[in-house]
């Protein structure tokens, strides 16, 4: 009887081991599936934009540039400024932490963003991938987040241009109700004042920020989205 039991157990071991290994998905596959898990389409984010963000996030992580690789922030400037077009995603915990309004630059467009620049004095937003730095408290904008633009020719002048993430009263629902669209910045991704600190505390110190717009030159030449 004992011999028969051990013989059956021996036959089943390969099946048991194989079943266990199937439950462990590759990290890349898990992150890619987040789009459906978090129902991001219901929040207005397309799967195409999400996958581009994942591509750049992965490359930054492989290059060792992310101290906080669990957090991915996406700004989708292809959407109307009346939409909540900023998304903060915790890839490890598989949660959408924030989905809020975000303003674009004064000369980037009115309701819709259209024009982008990396040059100082243009008051335009800059596209591409950024690595978040530490928070700061300025005399003009208050609590804010320093950003490092890492795409040459697209956003690498962010520090010189003082492109930061900060709160602004023109980045609110009340402003939209009065003006029909969100207000505009000098090129900074500006958030509702009540959210700037919790968002910054979540994404600061080495996480990935991706600012998207379907600009043909950017899509053709960026090394981070291919």
- Which stretches in the chain have pLDDT values below 50? 2-27
Q: Phi then psi for 142, rounded to 5 degrees?
A: 75, -140
Collapsed DSSP state (helix, strand, coil) of residue 154: coil
Domain extent, residue 177, equals: 25-221
Distance CA 55, CA 59 (A): 6
Residue 53 placed within a domain: yes
Please tell me the pTM assigned to this model: 0.87
Residue 167 placed within a domain: yes
Give residue 139's pLDDT.
77
Question: Most distant CA pair in the chain: distance in Å?
Answer: 86
Residue 2 placed within a domain: no
Residue 3 placed within a domain: no
Count: domains in the chain: 1
CATH at 74: 2.40.440.10
Residue 132 placed within a domain: yes
Chain segment 139-187, per-residue pLDDT in tens: 789 999 999 999 999 999 999 999 999 999 999 999 999 999 999 999 9
Distance CA 128, CA 33 (A): 23
Q: What is the DSSP letter of 51?
A: H
Distance CA 86, CA 188 (A): 13
Beta strand 190-191 pairing with 164-167: parallel
Residue 11 placed within a domain: no
């Amino acid at each position: 009887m004992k011999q028969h039991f051990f013989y059956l157990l021996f036959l089943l071991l390969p099946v048991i081991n194989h079943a266990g290994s199937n439950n462990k998905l590759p990290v890349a596959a898990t992150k890619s599936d987040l789009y459906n898990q978090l129902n991001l389409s219901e929040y207005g984010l397309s799967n195409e934009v999400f996958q581009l963000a994942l591509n750049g996030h992965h490359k930054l992580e492989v290059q060792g540039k992310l101290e906080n690789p669990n957090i991915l922030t996406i700004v989708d400037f292809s959407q109307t400024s009346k939409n909540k077009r900023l998304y903060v995603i915790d890839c490890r915990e598989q949660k959408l932490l924030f989905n809020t309004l975000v303003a674009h630059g004064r000369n980037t467009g009115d309701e819709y963003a259209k024009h982008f620049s990396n040059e100082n004095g243009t008051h335009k937003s800059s596209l591409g991938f950024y690595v978040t730095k530490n928070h700061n408290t300025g005399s003009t904008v208050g609590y804010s987040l320093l950003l490092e633009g890492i795409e040459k020719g697209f956003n690498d002048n962010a520090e010189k241009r003082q492109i930061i993430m900060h709160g602004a009263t023109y980045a609110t629902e009340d402003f939209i109700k009065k003006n029909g669209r969100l207000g505009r910045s000098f090129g900074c991704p500006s958030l509702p004042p009540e959210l700037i600190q919790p968002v910054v505390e979540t994404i600061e110190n080495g996480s990935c920020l991706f600012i998207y717009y379907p600009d043909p030159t950017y899509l053709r030449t960026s090394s981070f989205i291919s």
